[in-house]
Amino acid sequence: MRSNTIDVRPLGSAVGAEISGLDLAEPLAPPALATVKDALAEHGVVFFRNLSLTENQHIALARQFGEINVNRFFGHAEGYPEIALVVKEPNQTKNIGGGWHTDHSYDEIPALGSMLYAREIPPRGGDTLFASMYAAYDALSDGLKRTLDGLRGVHSSRHVFGVKRGDLEGRIGNYDAATQDATHPVVITHPESGKKALYVNPGFTVGFDGWTADESRPLLEYLYKHAARPEFTYRFQWREGSLAFWDNRATWHYALNDYQGERRLLHRITIDGCSLG
């Protein structure tokens, strides 16, 4: 799709598009803002290249899409509590986000999404995978769709942020604040696109409402395996100055941890969303 000089180029067959022709360091004109919002709702994640944003410009960009959600658990860029640090130093082994998940699904009002901006990228590795939960839902049988339509998923932050996990300590903290539990429909209607999406994720979903953990596990495991099928995914290769803006209601993401001994530093700003029903 082209509008003036803005180009939205789909990348994966199911998820992801690259947008070019916009100056993100300046406030976006209403038509440009609408183009980005539409592309995000349609493709689940949009990518921009070759940016040179200051912290204040990154914050101003995010504010055009909603209120900023100040992260409770991550360290932040000095002087900028709005900017969560997604960092791994050469001597650290664990990375942040190294498994399929949807940020903030444990909140009663889950976040819309995040803008992740690359400041320092290893010479190789450190890509991020994205998966389309629209595509995952669409590919289910009518019978399973009918079963899932009536279910709610239980999501929690406790088992992820409420416990110390190896050398993540120092980058993730405030463990006592990990008290969030929430239920959401297992199938949501996306608030902007109107499309149906699967809304459970391996990171934070702990069961189905009213089911035991043992009863929930087999169906959740089936859904996780199904939703991570390669044809629903896109693998984004970062360069310094790249920015990914994903929609948590339409995607999962997974930060690959294949760059031991190298530094990787990204700045993440998360934007508040709305109730999913």
Q: Does 255 bind ligand SIN (CB under 6 A)?
A: yes
Which of residues 84 and 187 has its CB atom nearest to ligand SIN in the complex?
84
- Lookup: tokens for 23: 């100056």
| Least Å from the CB of residue 34 to ligand SIN | 26
Rounded to the nearest 5 degrees, what angle is found at the Cα of 267, between the Cα atoms of 242 and 269? 105
**Which position's Cβ is nearest ligand SIN?**
97
In the sheet that holds 128-132, the strands lie side by side as: 233-236, 128-132, 251-255
Site for ligand SIN in 44-73 (CB under 6 A): none
Q: Which residue has the tokens 């349609």?
A: 42
Binders of ligand SIN among residues 80 to 99 (CB under 6 A) are: 86, 96-97
Q: Is there a catalytic annotation at residue 107? A: no
Q: Is 101 a catalytic residue?
A: yes
SS3 93: coil
Nearer to ligand SIN, 58 or 253 (CB): 253
> Are the C-beta atoms of 115 and 61 separated by less than 8 Å?
yes
Residue 268 sits in the site that holds ligand SIN (CB under 6 A)? yes
Strands (E), the chain: 2-3, 6-10, 17-20, 45-48, 68-69, 76-77, 80-88, 113-120, 128-132, 152-156, 181-185, 187-189, 196-198, 205-208, 233-236, 243-247, 251-255, 264-271
Half-sphere exposure of 4 (CA within 13 A, CB side): 8
Instruction: Find the binder of ligand SIN among 136, 250, 266, 269 (CB under 6 A).
Output: 266
Of 106, 102, 5, the closest CA to residue 45 belongs to 102
Would you call 103 a catalytic residue per the annotation?
Answer: yes
Choose the catalytic residue: 155, 249, 253, 267.
253
The residue among 145 and 263 lying less far from ligand SIN, judged by its C-beta, is 263
Is 226 an annotated catalytic residue?
no
Q: Which listed residue (43, 58, 101, 190) is catalytic? A: 101
Residues between 128 and 147 that touch ligand SIN (CB under 6 A):
128
Between 13 and 42, how does the x/- string for binding to ligand SIN read (CB under 6 A)? ------------------------------
Find the binder of ligand SIN among 247, 253, 269, 276 (CB under 6 A): 253
Q: Tell the smallest beta-carbon distance from residue 26 to ligand SIN (Å).
A: 26
Extract the tokens encoding 236.
């984004």
Q: Which active-site residues does the annotation give?
A: 101, 103, 253, 268
**Where do contacts with ligand SIN occur on this chain (CB under 6 A)?**
86, 96-97, 103, 116, 128, 253, 255, 266, 268
